[in-house]
Amino acid sequence: MADNGQRRTTGRGQIYGSILDTIGNTPTIRVNNLAPDGVEMFVKFEAFNPAGSVKDRLAVNIIEAAERNGTLKPGQTVIEATSGNTGIGLAMVCAQKGYPLVIVMAESFSVERRHLMRMLGAKVIITPKELSATGMLQKTRELAEANGWFVAHQFETEANADIHESTTAQEILGDFKDQRLDYFVTGYGTGGTLTGVGRVMRKERPDLKIILSEPANAQLVGSGEAQKRLDSGEPAEKHGAFEPHPIQGWTPNFIPLVLQEALDEGFVDELRPVPGPDGIAWAKRLAAEEGIFTGISGGSTFAIGMELAQNAAPGTTILCMLPDTGERYLTTPLFEGMPDLMTEEEMALSASTPSAQMG
């Protein structure tokens, strides 16, 4: 700030070669109003990525790793099954690099995600909601085999966790250099964030406790039931513990291969389930009381962070991953009951002065 207290900016000191160069280096932000007294709470806010979510990281690395190893040919069509954020990230990357993109997405995911992918040039194939994630994957395999397309394989590819090992984890280390950090809280969609961060933190911050969350009514990891897989690492069938849940982007109806590494290597110190309504409630409170506008997945992670904080010793420091922006959830339960016009309270406030009254 300047001497008079007014905020000033000076630019970032560089000009970026493309939108893809702005991926990563997302901010760690202090939680001021919701954190209990004596507990330091922070969020890593992935909405600052250019396409609005943590999945921008894996999207660019999947494409660039395939370019490096020659599995993706110039002009080849890319295809992927996604609940939305990976598709949006891939659409941004493919638009910049000139690859046609086809996304396969179950009809249960929010319509604004389809609009964003189409705006970025992708084609979107919609599958029946009752078939969930495994139905999306089957359709993706069929279309790829029939047309010779490149499958991104976000749930299986090494490029997923690798980018979190080389970026997300390094950013956390840098942000908390010479500072205490007791807990890192995350959910999982593919498991890439957990696995990549876990690889680094087990070596660099071995005292850090990594907390994994999943929906209370879809506790795949918590069930202890192993995931049946094809030779490719893809799921052979839906996991027996899966039930539909409102935390879009989290916990598909199988345990991803990328996540399996973190489970096998012992990166998870504690597993905590979270009810979907709790995630919605905390996402709303983060927006209204901190000005941090995240989605249901971010609210769900923060709900677990608050659980930890309520019983934590003074001085405890907690970092929660917020995967995306709340704008991905406009047609979901996060905005249920939100009026299009005015509430009674707003109408009364408007009526308190004479001009510009609604009929």
Q: What is the mean pLDDT of the chain?
A: 96
Q: What is the tens place of the pLDDT at every residue in 264-283?
A: 999 999 999 999 999 999 99
The pLDDT of residue 88 is above 90 = yes
Residue 80 Cα distances to 60, 116, 177, 327, angstroms: 13, 15, 37, 22
Q: With 80 as the cut, is the pLDDT of residue 304 above it?
A: yes
Tally DSSP H helices, then E strands, for the chain. 11, 10
Q: What is the pLDDT of residue 165?
A: 98
Count other C-beta atoms under 10 Å from residue 87's C-beta.
30
pTM: 0.94
Q: Is 55 a catalytic residue?
A: yes
The distance from CA 80 to its chain's CA centroid, rounded to whole angstroms, is 16
Percentage of the chain modeled with pLDDT above 90: 93
For the CA atoms of 230, 234, 238, 241, the dihedral, rounded to the nearest 10 degrees, stands at 110
Q: Residue 182 contacts by C-beta under 8 Å, 6 or more apart in sequence?
A: 207, 208, 209, 312, 316, 317, 318
Q: Is 44 a catalytic residue?
A: no
Helix (H) or strand (E) holding 44: strand 40-45
User: Mapping DSSP to helix (H, G, I), strand (E, B) and coil, where does residue 215 land?
Assistant: strand
Please give the pLDDT value at position 3: 67
Residue of 102, 100, 124 lying closest to 112 (CA atoms): 124
DSSP state of 19: G
Please check the confidence at residue 358 and state whether its pLDDT lies above 90. no
Instruction: Give the pLDDT confidence score for residue 65 in this predicted structure.
Output: 98
Q: What distance lies between CA 204 and its chain's CA centroid?
A: 24
pLDDT tens, residue by residue, 208-262: 999 999 999 999 999 999 999 999 999 999 999 999 999 998 999 999 999 999 9
44, 55, 139, 238: the catalytic one is 55
> In one letter, which amino acid is 110?
S
Residues 146-161: pLDDT tens digits?
A: 999 999 999 999 999 9
Q: What is the pLDDT of residue 83?
A: 84
Task: Kindly list the distances between the CA atom of residue 129 and the CA atoms of 82, 244, 247, in Å, as whole numbers in the listed order.
Answer: 13, 10, 15
Q: What angle do CA 192, 236, 255 make, to 5 degrees?
A: 30
Q: How much is the pLDDT for 64?
A: 98
All structural domains of the chain, each given as residue ranges with its CATH number in brackets, are 19-48+168-335 (3.40.50.1100), 55-151 (3.40.50.1100)
Q: What is the CA radius of gyration of the chain?
A: 21
State whether the Cα torsion 209-26-54-243 is positive or negative. Answer: positive
Residue pLDDT, tens place only, 10-47: 999 999 999 999 999 999 999 999 999 999 999 999 99
pLDDT for 108: 87
pLDDT tier for residue 1 given thresholds of 50, 70 and 90? low
pLDDT in tens, 219-234: 999 999 999 999 999 9
- Predicted pLDDT at 110: 87
The mean per-residue pLDDT over the stretch 78-107 comes to 96
CA dihedral 114, 118, 120, 125 (to 10 degrees): 80
Give 40's strand partners.
317
* End-to-end CA separation in angstroms for the chain: 45
Distance CA 145, CA 160 (A): 22
Residue 359 has pLDDT above 80, yes or no: no
Q: Which of 53, 110, 132, 297 is catalytic?
A: 297
| Structure confidence at residue 2 as a pLDDT band (50, 70, 90) | low
